[in-house]
A = this chain, B = another copy of it.
Amino acid sequence: MGARRPREPLSRERALAAAIALVDAEGLAALTMRRLAAGLGVEAMSLYYHLPGKEGLLDGLAEAVIAEIEAAAEAADATVAGDDWRTRLRQRFLAARAVMLRHPWAPGLLGSRPTVPAGVYAYYDQIIATLREGGFSYRIAHRALHAFGSLALGFAQEVFRPAAAGGTTDVDVAEAELAAMAEKLPHLTAMMAAEAHDADDPTLGWCDSQVEFEFTLDLLFDGLERARG
């Protein structure tokens, strides 16, 4: 925003930090070489001295998010160091989810990168280590990694709403739309009615993502316990 004279020189780190702030505030679509530069009090072309173009910038953003997730997961894991594998993985995944909730654009960004950010592999390595300590074979650990999928990185699966991205979502419109097609969706309507029954807020926003997230984790953990070989 307010850019005085460039006190400290531009750097890759400063550019990435500004990019994250910009995207947190205004969404991925607002991230433009020109806008980013303007926010840094610099011309767009200056960015090319520190970053290999727009794609490189996006790669940097992806790596930064993964690093944040890994740091949060590592910290969470440290607090339950002596516990069993599922408690430790659970804490890790929940910490990752907290990071994702702070950066709702992250799933969309990671999905759009042509290659998995390198930091992801370090993150996987820790998960495999925990599974091995828990007595799992490499085979099951491998399958577990696939089964966790984006859950391991904290992606909450949005069932009734935008899958990822930022942007303003109009709950009322979505609800009206759904109501309009209610007679064509008898089972969905009935399910919503049944579930809204004991929810505080009987709207489309009735899914408690935290509860659903943890339910899915337990489903997978239970299954893995049983598949242990």
A interface residue numbers (CB < 8 A to B): 107-108, 110-116, 118, 121-122, 124-126, 128-129, 132, 137-139, 141-143, 145-147, 149-150, 157-165, 167-169, 174, 177-178, 181, 184-188, 190-191, 194-195, 207, 212-213, 215-216, 218-220, 222-224, 226-227
User: Please, which residue of chain B has its CB at the minimum distance from the CB of A222?
Assistant: B223
Q: How far, in angstroms, from A126 to B185 measured CA to CA in the complex?
A: 9
Q: Which of A137, A178, A186, A216 counts the most B-chain CB atoms under 10 A from its CB?
A: A216
Known: A125-B186, A191-B142. A110 touches B149 (CB 8 A): no
Known: A122-B184, A215-B146. A138 touches B190 (CB 8 A): yes
- Asked if B146 and A157 sit within 8 Å, CB to CB, the answer is yes
- Asked if B184 and A159 sit within 8 Å, CB to CB, the answer is no
Known: A112-B108, A115-B169. A207 touches B146 (CB 8 A): yes
- Asked if A116 and B191 sit within 8 Å, CB to CB, the answer is no
Chain multiplicity (copies): 2
For A186, the chain B residues whose CB sits under 8 A away are 125
Q: Which of A116, A177, A191 counts the most B-chain CB atoms under 10 A from its CB?
A: A191
For A124, the chain B residues whose CB sits under 8 A away are 159, 185, 188
Q: Would you list the 6 A-B pairs with minimal beta carbon distance, nearest first?
A: A149-B157, A219-B223, A138-B194, A146-B212, A128-B187, A114-B167
For A226, the chain B residues whose CB sits under 8 A away are 222
For A107, the chain B residues whose CB sits under 8 A away are 111
Q: How far, in angstroms, from A223 to B216 measured CA to CA in the complex?
A: 9
- Asked if B165 and A111 sit within 8 Å, CB to CB, the answer is yes
